[in-house]
Amino acid sequence: MDHNYVILSNSNVLVRITASDIMYISSDGSYSTMVLIDGRKHMFSFNLSSFEKQLETQLGLESKTFIRLGKSLIINSIYIYSINIPAQELILSCSSNPGEFVLNASRDALKSLKLMIETILKTRRLL
């Protein structure tokens, strides 16, 4: 299996997509919607946990770029543009496509995300 791609299917549809084309995945109960960087959407009849497992299985270490935020959101961390904790907003943006995606998340989830990014940056600093 080619590890650069994610292949998702349900009873009627199969989608083969480059992992870096996935902006985020949102969930509403047992349905998940995958949103691509160009704004296209694909809905699947499985929950976010199933989506997470499929990403891990198919992408291996590359799946670490996807971060679960709360109960209803998985984001592709390479597209994080800004985190606004008081407004409970996360903005994802891609330089190759104009526009941005404004997502709502809990303050706690955004605080954790911000801390995680800051921690990663600290460990990457050269002495």
Residue 70 is which amino acid? G
What pLDDT does residue 2 have?
A: 44
CA distance 24 to 41: 10
Q: Is 99 exposed, middle or buried (0-12, 13-18, 19+ CB in 10 A)?
A: exposed
Confidence of residue 120 (pLDDT cuts 50, 70, 90): confident
Q: What is the pTM of this model?
A: 0.89
Q: What is the pLDDT of residues 56-114, one digit of tens each?
A: 999 999 999 999 998 899 999 999 999 999 999 999 999 887 789 999 999 999 999 99
Q: Which of 48-52, 76-80, 96-100, 121-125 has the lowest mean pLDDT?
A: 121-125
Residue reference for tokens 């902006």: 23
Domains in the chain (CATH in brackets) are 5-124 (2.40.50.1020)
* Opening angle at CA 111, ends 105 and 116, nearest 5: 115
Query: Mean pLDDT for the chain?
Result: 90
What pLDDT does residue 78 have?
A: 94
What pLDDT does residue 84 have?
A: 97
* Opening angle at CA 112, ends 109 and 117, nearest 5: 125
pLDDT at residue 3 above 60?
no
CA distance 88 to 102: 10
Q: What is the pLDDT of residues 54-72, one digit of tens each?
A: 999 999 999 999 999 988 9
Residue 46 is which amino acid? F
